[in-house]
Structures are given as C-alpha cells and as structure tokens.
Amino acid sequence: MAGKPKLGELAKADHGVRLASAYTATLMDNPDSVLRERGRDMKIYDEILRDDQVKPTFQQRRLAVIQSEWTVEPASESSQDKAAAEFIKEQLSHIRFDGITDKMLYGLFYGYAVGECLWAYDGSQIVLDDIKVRDRSRFVFDVDGNLRLIKAGEPHPVKLPDQKFWVFSTGANHSDNPYGLGLGHYLYWPTFFKRNDIKFWLIFLEKFGQPTAMAKLPPGQAEDPREREKALQVLDAIQVDSGIVVPDNILVELLEAARHGTADYEALAERMDRAISKVVLSQTMTTDDGSSLSQAQVHEAVKQSVIKSDADLICESFNNQVVRWLTEWNFPNAQPPRVWRNTEPEEDLLQRAERDNKISTLGYEPTEEYIEEVYGPGWRKKPEPVSQPIATDSLAPAFAEQDATHPKLAQKKTDRRNDQQALADAADYFATRYHAIYGNQIEELLSYAEDTGDLQTFRSHLEELLEQSSSSDTAVKTIRDAGFYSRLMGIFRGEKR
C-alpha cells in the first residue's frame, strides 16, 4: 500500500535563489558543459529563447503537442481499470492539463522540468487539485538521484518527499544524468554567433550606409581647442538638422564609403537560422523556404516524428509518476490507465474519397459502419430504384397526338415494332433449338471446350463449324418453325402480320 501524499506547497516561489549558491559535496553537478563554462546560471538559456528563430521553432514544437487531443485508456476491460481511467480523466479535465503540459515541455529546452503536485482529499479519495510547474533552476539532485530544493536561509538544499514532484527529464544519453540535456545546450553557439554577427552587421550598415561628415580647418586653427569645438558642433548639426550655418574658415566634406554589399553578414545570419531550425525541428522547410513540394513533404514528415516523440515522452513520464500514484492511492486493485495524445495529422478526406471510388470500380462497396467511421454521421444509403415492368401494350409512343394526325407514320412505327418483336421471339426460339440444327457438332464442340485449355484449337474448330452450312430438312424446319412461332405470338397479342 502506497504511503499518504504530502499535502500543501513545499516549493513556493523563492526569487533570487540560484543553483550556484548552494553546491555541496553531496550534490550531483549538472554535466552540461555550456552551463559549467558560463557559471552554471540558467539565465543564459533564458536569453536564447528571445532569439527570433528559436522562439517560433520551439513554439511550433510545443504547440503541436498541446493541440493534439489527449485521451485516457483503461489498462483492461475490468470494472476497476475502467473506473481508474474515468477518475484520471476527471482529474485532468479539472487542472487544465494542456497548460501544464506546455510548461513542462520546456524541459525539452532546459533538459528537465519540475512540477509540484498539489494533492487534496475529496471525501474518501485523494485528488489532484493542481500541478504548479516550478523554476527548474531551484532544484538539484543529490548523488542518489533524489530531488532537492534550494531554499533561502537553508545551508543545504532540502530533500523533498516522494510522490510529490513530477520530474520530466530528457536528452541525456545515459540514465546517470537526471538533469538531462536540453536544446539550449545545442542552441547556445548558433545564437551566440548570430547575435554577434548582427551586432557587427549594424555597425557595418551605420558606417557604410551613409557618408561620414568631415570638417577641414585652415592651418594653425586645427590645434585651437575652440576652433575644433566649433567644427565638431557643425558635424553634429549635419547629422540631425536639415540646414546648418558653417563659419567661412571651416570646410565641410562628406566621405562616401567605397565598399559595397553586406560583407556576408546576412549569409551568416541565415546560416545560423537554418542551424537553429535543424536543432529544434530536425529540418528547415517548415520555417524557411523550400525548394520543392516533395522535399517539403519529407521535412514535414520529419517534424511530425519529432512531435510524436515529444508527446510520447511527456505522457510516459506523467503515466509513470502522477497517474501511477493516483491509481495506487485510490484504486489499489486496478492497473494504472494510460494517458496519451493523438499527434497524427487529420486525414485528407478528398484523397480517401478518390481512393474509395477507385476501389468501388473493382466491384467492392463500403459498409455503413465504414462510411460513418471515416466520413462521420449523417449519411444513409440511397434507396434502390424500383423497376417498373413495361407492358407490350404500352409501347405506343408518347407523341400519340402527333401520330393521330399522321396515321401512315403511326402504322409504320407499329409495324417496325412488331417486326423487331418477331425477330426477338424467333431468335429466342432459335437459340433454344440449336441442337436440332447443328446436331451433335455443338455437343462435340462444347465437350472439347470443357476438356481442353487450348484456345487456338477451339477457335479453329468453331470456325469449321460455322463454315459448314446445314442443309438438312431438320434445320430448315426449325427455322421455319421459328418464324411461324413468332407470327403466332403476334396473333396471340392481337397484332396484325
């Protein structure tokens, strides 16, 4: 049985306390080489976040995780596991889980993040009242991996109770580093070079973007402090005034810069921006211009894999700590549920519809369950068209009134229909009497077709059969009977032959 949770806040804001102020021999040093060389102050990483390329790229990465819908899945179909999953879902809905996740995702940048769980009692259950993401620089780890809090007035960092703080660590290449290694470590030098490049670029633009004013004094006056001061005042006036008054003993000239271009300052800044995009997103084309659609699609896929990895890591950390603690306290006989985020992009339904249409041409049709699952509710199958039998007597044209005025034309149409019907009846009669015409030849041909797969030989036998003219009395009688049969049917219909 898990122990009781520690209630209340333990790591309230303690401004001004920094990591370097409380190092002892029992603490584990952060192995980040950049922090070691720069005084172990995480303020240097705060400055990196102000960069105009770092902020939007890292924001892309965080917001892509936050906008993905989260869900809670029970560990099994048992009633206890389902109840535990429903309980966790209620807790997350109560604490604004997306905003907390966004703050904890800064652990990707700094290497680790710390969130204090504020537990409370709700009747017979321990509930999660809130999670406050604390300033990570106020926490250190001892040599045993325990989390400690740096507090003002305390000679040593205070050891914190178990099952109280959610710690998210990422980026380290081994398990012995609880601090992790964040993106700030890799972004320090690209942003450093870019920042200094822009500084020198501005100096360059100031120097070569406008001419330099120069004052000339007659010999002997250049050494006079008063005359020199007058000349400097004239030069200052040139920079800000539209018109100036110049003493006749001072000659003013403008020096034009002979150098042109950007001196590759812009190229260096762009190169550092691409490096920043690669570090944060593992690609460049979702933040910079791409060269082709296919390459942009590949880079977008790389970005999606990074986002999915972030979502999996943060959810795994939350499940192994907060979800497990709540389940052990409130549902000791249940297995902890799983919280996860669906980061898959929405499917292009137009492409899916085109694919379904192509599959339907192969003879398949979707089920109603498939339509509702893919395209959503609101669909129903079209009713089958009801076929109406066409009576023979209804073959009269729709233009009966016109036929009434032209009786000869109407009679011709009627005779033509009668002839077509007689031919159809004769063909039907003739088709069922093939044996009487060709006798055993048809039987032999059909038997041969069943016994052999040689299409060429079968075709030659068929041609021989068609070339043979049947002059038997039986054939003549059959054809005559067919004509008589069709005429007789016409009489039964009351039609004139």
The predicted pLDDT at position 144 comes to 87
- Lowest model confidence (mean pLDDT) among 85-99, 101-115, 376-390, 421-435: 421-435
Q: Give the residue with greater pLDDT, 115 vs 220.
A: 115
The predicted pLDDT at position 232 comes to 77
pLDDT tens, position by position, 359-390: 878 777 788 777 777 777 777 777 777 766 55
Q: Give the residue with greater pLDDT, 243 vs 313.
A: 313
In angstroms, the CA 277 to CA 272 distance is 9
Q: Give the residue with greater pLDDT, 418 vs 313.
A: 313
The whole-chain average pLDDT of the chain stands at 78
In angstroms, the CA 419 to CA 486 distance is 9
Residue among 283, 276, 288 nearest 189 (CA): 276
The predicted pLDDT at position 433 comes to 58
Is it the case that residue 18 has pLDDT exceeding 50?
no
**Whole-model pTM over 0.75:** no
Q: Give the residue with greater pLDDT, 261 vs 207.
A: 207
pLDDT tens, position by position, 255-288: 665 555 556 888 999 999 999 999 998 876 655 6
Q: Give the residue with greater pLDDT, 416 vs 335.
A: 335
DSSP per-residue letters across 392-406 = GGGGS-S-HHHHHH-
In angstroms, the CA 389 to CA 387 distance is 7
Residue among 334, 342, 326, 324 nearest 94 (CA): 326
Residue among 135, 188, 132 nearest 322 (CA): 132
Is it the case that residue 112 has pLDDT exceeding 90?
yes
- Lowest model confidence (mean pLDDT) among 44-58, 125-139, 381-395: 381-395
The predicted pLDDT at position 273 comes to 93
Q: Give the residue with greater pLDDT, 227 vs 141.
A: 141
Place of tokens 């804001």: 13
Name the 3-class secondary structure at 133.
strand
Confirm if 136 and 42 have CB atoms less than 8 A apart: yes
User: 461: which residues sit within 8 A by CB, 6+ positions away?
Assistant: 445, 448
The predicted pLDDT at position 103 comes to 96
Confirm if 138 and 150 have CB atoms less than 8 A apart: yes
